[in-house]
Amino acid sequence: MTAYVFPGQGSQFRGMGFDLYQRSAPAKAMFDRANDILGFEITKIMFEGSDDELKQTDVTQPAIFLHSVILASTLGHFDAGMVAGHSLGEFSALVASGALSFEDGLRLVSKRAQAMQRACELAPSAMAAVLALADAEIEAICAQITADGEVVVAANYNCPGQVVISGSVNGVNLACEKMKTAGAKRALLLPVGGAFHSPLMEPARAELAAAIENTEFGQPRCPVYQNVNAQPSVNIAAIKQNLVLQLTAPVRWTQSVQGMVADGATHFVECGPGKVLQGLVKKIAPQAEVSGVVF
C-alpha cells in the first residue's frame, strides 16, 4: 500500500515550484490563482526571493503548501492508500485526499501562518533539535524546567533519536544544556521564527478555530493520519478538531509512520519540496520503500 506524505516548514528553498510554473499550464493557473487569493505575488518570492524572505512564517507556510499540492495535482490519479503531513503538511495532505479544496486549503494555511506569526511576536521563543537522547528523558527535563517557571516542551517526534523541543528562549537554552549533560549527542537551536507546537502558540488557536469552523470540509478519499494522536481519521469533526489542537500539541511523526506501516503501508512517497520526510521515514521504517514525486 502506498502512503503519501507532505512536508512542513523548513523544507523550502529558493526557486521552489519554478519548473512546475514553467512547464505545466494547469500548475501555472494554480499558482496565479494563489497570487490572487493571497493578495500578493508569492510566486515572485518563491522563485526569486532571498532565503530570509522565504523563512518568514507567513510566506513559508503557503509556499510549501502550494508546492506540495500543485505537485500532487500533476499525478493525475491520486492513488494513496493513506496520507499524512508533518505539521503544516497536514493541510496539504487534506487537500490531496479531497477533504479540502485547493482554495480553502490555501486560505486556511495563510490564516494559520499569520496567526502563528503574531503569536511568535508576543514573546521571545525558540526551538532546538535534540539528538540521541531518549524521549522519556527529554520529556522529563522539559517538565522540570516548565515547573520551575519557564516554558519548554517536546514539539516534534521526528524519528527515533531526533526530537525537537520548543518554548521560551530561556527555557530552550536551559533545556539544551541539561540535555547535553544528560548525554544528548547534540542540542542545536533551529533558525525558526518562534515556538511552534508549544503552549506559546495558544494566542493563535481561537483565530484558526474560527477559520476552520467556517470552512467546508468533505470526506477524504483515504485515511488521514493526524499529528496530534498519530491515528487515522476520516471523520470530519475529528479532523477539524485535531487541526486546531495541532497548534499547541506535538507532532507525533514517528508514531504516525509506525502506525501507517502497521496498517499496511509499504511505500512512502514524499510530495513537496526537499527530501526531509524521506530521510525520516528511512530511520523510522527502514524496511519500507521510500521515494519522492518527480515532475
Sheet containing 125-131: which strands, arranged edge to edge?
A: 152-159, 162-168, 125-131, 186-189
The verdict on 78 and 93 lying in the same domain is: yes
DSSP state of 274: S
Q: Please report where in the chains the cell 519548554 appears, as a residue.
A: 152
Q: Is residue 209 part of a domain?
A: yes
**Helix residue spans in 74-126 (DSSP H):** 89-96, 102-122
- Residues of the chain by 3-state class (helix, strand, coil), percent to 5: 50, 15, 35
Helices (H), 74-227: 89-96, 102-122, 135-147, 169-181, 202-213
177 is a domain residue: yes
Domain count of the fold of the chain: 2
152: three-class secondary structure by DSSP: strand
Q: Is residue 208 located within the same domain as residue 236?
A: yes
Query: Is residue 175 located within the same domain as residue 211?
Result: no
- One domain for residues 205 and 180: no
Domain for residue 194, yes or no? Answer: no
Phi, psi of 224, rounded to the nearest 5 degrees? -110, 120
Say if residue 157 is in the same domain as residue 16.
Answer: no
Shared-domain flag, residues 95 and 39 = yes
Q: Which of 41, 36, 33 is nearest to 70 (CA)?
A: 33
Same domain, 55 and 168: no
pTM of the model: 0.95
Out of 11, 68, 73, 87, pick the active-site residue. 87
Which is catalytic among the residues 86, 92, 166, 197?
Answer: 197
- Segment (H or E) for 159: strand 152-159
The answer to whether residue 87 is catalytic is yes
Domain range spanning residue 162?
122-189
Asked if 268 and 223 sit in the same domain, the reply is yes
97 among known catalytic residues = no
- Whether the Cβ atoms of residue 272 and residue 226 lie closer than 8 Å to each other: no
Same domain, 14 and 108: yes
Q: Are residues 271 and 225 in the same domain?
A: yes
Q: Digits of tens for pLDDT over the chain (295 positions)? A: 999 999 998 888 899 999 999 999 999 999 999 999 999 999 999 999 888 888 888 899 999 999 999 999 998 888 899 999 999 999 999 999 999 999 999 999 999 999 999 998 898 899 999 999 999 999 999 999 999 999 999 999 999 999 999 999 999 999 999 999 999 999 999 878 789 999 999 999 999 999 999 999 999 999 999 999 999 999 999 999 999 999 999 999 999 999 999 999 999 999 999 999 999 999 999 999 999 998 7
Residues 163, 245 within the same domain: no
In a domain, 139, yes or no: yes
Name residues whose C-beta falls within 8 Å of residue 134's C-beta, 6 or more positions apart in sequence. none
